Structure 1
Amino acid sequence: MKKIVLSAVLLACAFSASALTQPELRFGVDPTFPPFESKAVDGSLQGFDIDLGNAICAQAKVKCVWVQTGYDGIIPALKARKFDAILSAMSMTPKRREQVAFSDMLYNTPSALVTKKGNALQPEAAALKGKIVGVAQGTTQETYAKEVWARQGVQVVSYPNQDEIYPDLASGRLDATLTSAASAETGFLKSPQGQDFAISGDMLYDKQYFGEGIGIGLRKDDTENLTLINNALAELHKNGTYDQLAKKYFSFSVYHKLDQ
Structure 2
Amino acid sequence: MKRLLAGSAFALLTVFTLSATADDDYRVGISAEPYPPFYSPDASGEWSGWEIDFTHALCQRLDATCEIVPLAWGGIIPALKTGKIDMIIGSMGITPERAKQIAFSQKYYDTPTGLLAAKGSDVQPTPEGVKGAYLGVQSGSIQESYAYKYFSHSAADIKVYQTLDEELQDLSAGRIDAVVGDTLAMQPFIDSDLGQACCEFRGNVAADPAVLGRGVGVGLRKEDTELLSRVNAAISDILADGTYQKISKPYFGDLSIYGD
* TM band (smaller chain): 0.7 to 0.9
Which consecutive aligned stretches of 4+ in structure 1 deviate over 6 angstroms post-superposition? none
Q: Counterpart of 2:84?
A: 82
| TM-score, normalised via structure 1 length | 0.85
- For residues 166-181 of structure 1, the aligned pairs below 5 Å read 166-181=168-183
Residue-by-residue CA offset, 1:2-35 (whole Å, 9 max, x unaligned): xxxxxxxxxxxxxxxxx89842121110152111
SS at match of 1:91: coil
1:28 match: 29
Decide which of 131, 134, 144 is 1:132's aligned counterpart: 134
Q: Distance in 2 between matches of 1:215 and 1:40?
A: 25
Partner deviation per Cα, 1:85-117 (whole Å, 9 max, x = no partner): 111111111111111100011011001101123
Residues 173-195 of structure 1 deviation map (CA, whole Å, 9 limit, x = unaligned): 1111111001111x222344423
Where does residue 254 of structure 1 map in the other structure? 257
SS of the equivalent of 2:217 reads: strand
Distance 1:20 1:213 in 2: 31
Q: Distance in 2 between matches of 1:21 and 1:184?
A: 36
Whole-angstrom CA distance in 2 between matches of 1:232 and 1:194? 37
Per the alignment, in what secondary structure is the counterpart of residue 89 of structure 1? Answer: coil
CA contact (8 A) 2:22 2:64 kept: no
Give the AA of the match of 2:222: K
Which of 155-164 and 37-46 deviates more? 37-46
Q: How far, CA to CA, are the matches of 1:233 and 1:220 in structure 2?
A: 18
Distance 1:86 1:256, change over 3 A: same
**C-alpha distance in 1, partners of 2:66/2:193?**
34
1:190 equivalent in structure 2: 191
Instruction: Determine which structure has the larger helix proportion and give its number.
Output: 1
Paired with 1:28 and 1:127, the residues of 2 have a C-alpha distance of 37
Contact 1:181 1:203 in 2 (8 A): no
Q: Work out whether residues 109 and 181 of structure 1, in 8 Å CA contact, stay in contact via their aligned partners in 2.
A: yes
The residue number in structure 2 matching 1:238 is: 240
The separation in 2 between residues aligned to 1:206 and 1:247, in whole angstroms, is: 29
Contact conserved, 1:112 with 1:181, CA < 8 A, in 2?
Answer: yes
Aligned twin of 1:8: none
Shift of residue 226 of structure 1? Answer: 1.1
Q: How many aligned residue pairs are there? A: 238
> Residues 189-239 of structure 1: CA distance to partner in whole angstroms, max 9, x if unpaired?
234442322311345432121111110111111113212211211111221
For the pair shown, the structure with the greater C-alpha radius of gyration is 1
* TM-score normalised by length of structure 2: 0.85
Aligned to 1:91: 93
Residues 210-249 of structure 1: matches in 2 within 5 Å? 210-249=212-251
**Amino acid in structure 2 at the alignment position of 1:154:** A
Letter in 1 for 2:99: R
Query: Which segments of 5 or more consecutive residues in structure 2 lack a partner in the other structure?
Result: 1-19
Letter in 1 for 2:134: I
CA distance in 1, matches of 2:26, 2:70: 14
Q: Secondary structure at the match of 2:92?
A: strand
1:102 aligned residue (101, 104, 112): 104
2:51 pairs, out of 49, 52, 57, with 49
Give yes or no for contact 2:21–2:64 (8 Å, CA) kept in 1.
no
Gaps of 5+ in 1: 1-18
Distance 2:29 2:213 in 1: 20
Identity, in percent, stands at: 36
The CA deviation at 1:146 is 0.7
Q: Distance in 2 between matches of 1:53 and 1:92?
A: 17
Give the structure 2 partner of residue 9 of structure 1. Answer: none
Query: Superposed, which structure 2 residues align to 1:141-180 within 5 Å?
Result: 141-180=143-182
Q: Once the two structures are superposed, what CA deviation does each residue of 1:55-114 show, in whole Å capped at 9, x if it has no partner?
A: 100121101210101223221222222211111111111111111100011011001101
Cα pair 2:132 2:157 within 8 Å, conserved:
yes
Structure 2: distance between partners of 1:127 and 1:237: 38
